[in-house]
């Protein structure tokens, strides 16, 4: 329970700051609709509001009793909005499993809007990349995982591209034999790299997961240690054979690349344009 108690004041401060900002904004602007991407403070009396989240059920890593308590707190906040949009599919197959499809839903209108991705479906593919590595997430785990991979990819045959996930660093591209290193890849470049890759190694953050599934790429997901949501998502996707997953503590590049050769990847076409129909319907209601 300690982690939740420590996090609560920060969350409440953020929520209050959001509400204060919105109240000031509404004094000078008239709004018909507020769409909040997981921001609990962005709602106002008399204004229709939408809350977007895939986490109706939150994995805390502290056991089911704590998970249910946090879900109750989560629902109390979400139910202050007019409706909730869930970026996933109802039933099966589902991208986020129990996180987006829990047994009990909030007592409010819930609409599943399908997966969301900023990337475009692959058309023209550039020079093939044997292995694409996309790093992200908090330190020190990002650097720990990078160091683990950097030493291993040097002995890996074929073209490898490493995106370090450091947007604050320079845009200079490093080339070390068949290894190409980017500190950061903007959306357009990332789209091209993923489309050109045969296999992708990344964390199991939900945004990354949706990008990879939209583009139909085989992936190896390594959840950030200690992040219960990523650990659950990775296990869920592995069970559905949508991705191969392995804990960072047991990661060996040579062993993993050998095992994925026989992994029975399922690569269904995930339609990720449903949200457009939902938005058009909402606009029509406002008119």
**pLDDT digit string, tens, across residues 191-242:** 999 999 999 999 999 999 999 999 999 999 999 999 999 999 999 999 999 9
pTM of the model: 0.89
Residue 125 counted as domain residue = no
Residues 154 and 60 in one domain: no
Verify that 96 and 140 share a domain, yes or no: no
Per-residue pLDDT, averaged over 149-171, amounts to 88
Domain total in the chain: 2
The answer as to whether 265 is a domain residue is no
State the greatest distance between any 2 C-alpha atoms of the chain, in Å, as a whole number.
Answer: 62
Quickly count helices (H) and strands (E) in the chain: 8, 11
126: in domain: no
Work out the number of other CB atoms within 10 angstroms of the CB of residue 133: 26
Alpha-carbon gap, residue 84 to 108, rounded angstroms: 8
Rounded to an integer, what distance in angstroms lies between the CA atom of residue 194 and that of residue 196?
Answer: 5
Phi-psi region of 4 (alpha: psi -120 to 50; beta: other; left: phi over 0): alpha
The mean-pLDDT minimum among 65-69, 74-78, 102-106, 122-126 falls in: 122-126
Determine, yes or no, domain membership for 269: no
CATH number, domain of 178, equals 3.40.50.2000
pLDDT tens-digit profile of 105-133?
999 999 999 999 999 998 877 679 999 99
Are 103 and 173 part of one and the same domain?
Answer: no
Domain shared by 195 and 230, yes or no: yes
Are residues 6 and 95 located together in one domain of the fold?
yes
Residue 12 lies in a domain: yes
121 falls within a domain? no
Residues 136 and 253 occupy one common structural domain: yes
Average model confidence (pLDDT) across the chain? 92
Structure-block tokens of residue 136 = 């992200």
Same domain, 253 and 136: yes
Look at residue 267 and tell me whether its pLDDT is greater than 90: no
pLDDT digits (tens, 9 = 90+) for 172-184: 888 888 899 999 9
Query: With 50 as the cut, is the pLDDT of residue 34 above it?
Result: yes
Residue 3 has a pLDDT of 45
Provide the domain limits for residue 80.
2-116+274-286
**112 and 141: one domain?**
no
Tell me whether residue 229 is in a domain. Answer: yes
Regarding whether 148 and 43 lie in a shared domain, the answer is no
Distance in angstroms (rounded) separating the CA atoms of residues 244 and 234:
8
Q: Answer whether residue 53 is part of any domain.
A: yes
**Same-domain check for residues 201 and 145:** yes
């Amino acid at each position: 329970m300690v982690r939740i108690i420590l996090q609560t004041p920060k969350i409440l401060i953020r929520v209050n700051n959001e509400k204060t900002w919105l109240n000031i904004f509404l004094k000078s602007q008239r709004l018909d609709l507020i769409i909040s991407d997981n921001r609990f403070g962005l709602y106002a009396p008399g204004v229709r509001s939408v809350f977007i989240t895939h986490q109706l059920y939150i994995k805390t890593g502290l056991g089911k009793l704590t998970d249910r308590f946090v879900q109750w707190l989560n629902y109390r906040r979400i139910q202050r909005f007019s409706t909730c949009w869930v970026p996933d599919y109802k039933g099966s197959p589902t991208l986020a499993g129990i996180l987006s499809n829990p047994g009990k839903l909030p007592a409010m209108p819930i609409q599943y809007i399908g997966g969301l991705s900023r990337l475009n479906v692959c058309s023209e593919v550039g020079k093939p990349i044997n292995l694409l590595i996309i790093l992200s997430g908090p330190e020190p785990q990002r650097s720990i995982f990078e160091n683990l991979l950097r030493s291993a990819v040097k002995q890996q045959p074929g073209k490898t591209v490493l995106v370090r996930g450091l947007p604050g660093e320079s845009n200079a591209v490093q080339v070390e034999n068949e290894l190409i290193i980017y500190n950061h890849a903007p959306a357009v470049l990332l789209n091209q790299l993923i489309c050109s890759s045969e296999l992708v190694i990344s964390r199991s953050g939900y945004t990354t997961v949706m990008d990879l599934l939209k583009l139909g790429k085989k992936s190896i997901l390594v959840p950030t240690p200690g992040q219960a949501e990523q650990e659950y998502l990775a296990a869920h996707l592995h069970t559905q054979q949508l991705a191969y997953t392995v804990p960072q503590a047991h990661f060996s590049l040579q062993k993993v690349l050998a095992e994925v050769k026989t992994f029975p990847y399922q690569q269904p076409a995930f339609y990720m344009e449903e949200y457009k129909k939902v938005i058009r319907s909402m606009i029509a209601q406002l008119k």
